[in-house]
């Protein structure tokens, strides 16, 4: 069993209004050192794959087909062994 972790963020060329709102709110709270904020999403997928390489390949396909929008988002994934707990 493997645990896939997917980190999806908007591409740098895409405006992030949610991130801009968070940045402005942080400034209001006194965190003026914050230069930029980008908001994304985090997804966990448990995979019953035979090998880590197979799990990585399958998770990459899932990201390309459903979990991320390749037009405006990019993603990074990690796969680790999982004992199911």
At 38, list the tokens.
Answer: 């980008």
Instruction: Tell me what pLDDT residue 84 has.
Output: 64
Instruction: Tell me what pLDDT residue 1 has.
Output: 93
Q: Into how many domains does the chain fold?
A: 1
Q: What is the CATH number of the domain that holds 18?
A: 3.30.1280.10
Provide the residue count of the chain.
Answer: 85
Q: List pLDDT tens digits, range 1-14.
A: 999 999 999 999 99
What's the whole-model pTM score?
A: 0.85
Boundaries of domain holding 68: 2-81
Q: With b meaning 16 or more CB within 10 Å and e meaning fewer, what string describes 3-13?
A: bbebebbbeee
Average pLDDT for 38-58: 97
Report the C-alpha gap between 49 and 58 in whole angstroms: 9
Instruction: Tell me what pLDDT residue 85 has.
Output: 62
What's the CA angle centered on 68, arms 73 and 24, to 5 degrees?
45
| Cα dihedral value 21, 15, 5, 25, nearest 10 | -10
């Amino acid at each position: 069993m493997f645990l896939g972790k997917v980190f999806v963020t908007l591409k740098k060329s895409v405006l992030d209004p949610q991130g801009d709102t968070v940045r402005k709110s942080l400034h209001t709270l006194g965190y003026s050192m914050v230069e930029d904020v980008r908001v994304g999403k985090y997804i966990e997928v448990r995979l019953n794959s035979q090998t880590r390489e197979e799990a990585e390949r399958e998770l990459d396909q899932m990201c390309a087909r459903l979990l991320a929008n390749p037009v405006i988002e990019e993603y990074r994934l990690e796969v680790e062994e999982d004992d199911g707990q």
